[in-house]
Structure 1
Amino acid sequence: MSEHHTTSRFAVVTGGSGGLGLAIADALAHDGADLILVARNRDRLEAAAKELGRHGTVVHTVPADLSVPDAPARIAAHVRTLTDRVDILVNNVGTAHFASLADTTLDEMNTMWYLNVQVPLLLSQQLLPALLNARGNIINISSYWARKMVVGRHSAAYSATRGALNSMTRALASELGPQGVRVNAIAPGAVRTPTYERSHLSPMTAEERTAHDQRIEHSYPLGRLGTPEDVATAAAYLASAQWTTGTILTVDGGLTTR
């Protein structure tokens, strides 16, 4: 390995080409970490790498679809060609399907279970030697849906995967702590990502948008949705918080207090 590899802090971020993943990668790069970004879309990955390069850290890209069964092993193999130590693993990729119990399909259940629970576990397993080598830390991106339900939005299958990720975070923190690896999670409230804008806000009429904004002001003690930067600030904290492990950090503008 070159001297560069032995002195750098490496952060692997899944879903790193946009939204929360990109904001988290940006915050980690700002703190001096070299990045290994994993995402499906090669063009968006390259655009993200160019944007993040302004911090002066090195940005590697790994195009991979995490829904493919051998993806965690292939990603880990790629990472090993770049470095033998991973200081930070951010398990940010996830998916959500909201449906009533009667309308929940086995396919949707399996897709969410695989991407939201098994992939973070498999990737942590595959990168464990590199994490142990760095005495690194894992940050799992969970959701408020593990704790708070929303009237009219049925979430049993999705909420189950977020609860499982939280439990897994605590169990891994217990298991890996003695070996110097910390494991935490972030449970964000609703965040105004490009996906939220596109799928949730864009289709609304003016009246629906007004009702939406009033609902947000009523639901969130801090009176607004989150920004990707709000979550990234929390990730940067957890990445460097040397006596914090097994924590599910609530970053939700107070949503789950009501």
Structure 2
Amino acid sequence: MPHLVGTTAVITGGSEGLGYAIADAFATEGADLVLIARDQDGLDRARRTLSCHGTTVRTLCLDLADHGAATTAAQQVLELTDRVDTLVNNAGTAHFSPLAQTSADTFDTMLHLNVRVPFLLAQALLPALTTGRGSIVNISSYWADSTGTDRPSAAYSATRGAINAMTRALAGELGPSGVRVNAIAPGAVRAPAYEREHIVPMSAEQSEEHERHTGDAYPLGRVGAPREVAAAAAFLASPQAGWTTGTAQALSGGSYRARDAWHRAPS
């Protein structure tokens, strides 16, 4: 029997890639959905395909990078549904550059979308989450533990470290009210963003070499698939994870060395 029947999940960045895979996993388990993304066409496609699971799919077209959008999103969510059982903070952004070349605006953009928006959404939706004794799932990254020796990532790593710290702190704060808070820290996942950054710019020969180097960095011999991260998110939201809170679950194919493969591959 599906484990999320009768629940409603709010998923940011749910129109494509990892967010869409998470939405699909939740819908497969019977959850109704509210998807938030900035691409109306993508949201329409997601609604059509995800509705095939027999669940209700509602969408909100908002760019959460805009200041004030998180508050607006929360207000509109509560106008669409009278219950929120799970909040999945998936929307985020990444920029990699050396410290000397990272502007304050770039840092602020990542801090806003990767940390401030999840905080504001959790805050605004907390009464509904408390009523349903629900859960929050934050999508982080293994870059939170970067030493900075393989790729300059101080600003991005700081935001991912912050979301992990916030996850643990909120788990302690909200636990007595029955709300669980967990994070997932994926390694490289073959989603559209990964394809655009690492595969599309390469020739076929370079792509093959890149895949070989990347595979060598993982004990399991490959990058992750969106459905594998999505399955973990659905589990953390389910009653099966009823005693799980405050975790930052690493999904990295067994190795944090995988970051190195992104940079040993030919460019």
TM bracket (short chain)? over 0.9
Q: What TM-score, normalized by structure 1, do the two folds share?
A: 0.94
5 Å-filtered alignment, 1:61-210, equals 61-149=59-147, 151-210=149-208
Distance 2:206 2:146 in 1: 23
SS at match of 1:67: coil
Q: How far is 1:76 from its partner? A: 1.3
SS at match of 1:47: helix
Distance 1:206 1:50 in 2: 34
Structure 1 pair 69–140 and aligned structure 2 pair: CA distance change class (3 A): same
Q: How far is 1:210 from its partner? A: 3.1
Residue ranges of structure 2 left out of the alignment (5+ in a row): 259-267
Q: Which moved more, 1:198-207 or 1:183-192?
A: 198-207
Q: How far is 1:198 from its partner? A: 1.7
5 Å-filtered alignment, 1:37-56, equals 37-56=35-54
Distance 1:105 1:218 in 2: 34
* CA displacement 1:210-231 (0-9 Å, x = unmatched): 3312221221110001010010
AA in 2 matched with 1:246: G
Distance 1:214 1:154 in 2: 23
* CA displacement 1:170-222 (0-9 Å, x = unmatched): 00000000000000000000000112112221101344323312221221110
SS at match of 2:176: helix
Are the aligned partners of 2:146 and 2:153 in contact in 1 as well (CA < 8 Å)?
no
2:217 corresponds to which residue? 219
Q: Which moved more, 1:48-57 or 1:247-256?
A: 247-256
1:4 corresponds to which residue? none
1:251 corresponds to which residue? 251
Q: How far is 1:151 from its partner? A: 4.8
AA in 1 matched with 2:255: L
Q: What TM-score, normalized by structure 2, do the two folds share?
A: 0.91
SS at match of 1:175: helix
Distance 2:16 2:208 in 1: 27
Distance 2:21 2:207 in 1: 26
Identity over the aligned pairs, expressed in percent?
59
Are the aligned partners of 2:129 and 2:179 in contact in 1 as well (CA < 8 Å)?
yes
2:7 corresponds to which residue? 9
Q: Which moved more, 1:72-81 or 1:185-194?
A: 72-81
Q: What is the number of residues matched between the two proteins?
A: 252
Are the aligned partners of 2:148 and 2:154 in contact in 1 as well (CA < 8 Å)?
no
Residue ranges of structure 1 left out of the alignment (5+ in a row): 1-6
Q: Which moved more, 1:187-196 or 1:144-153?
A: 144-153
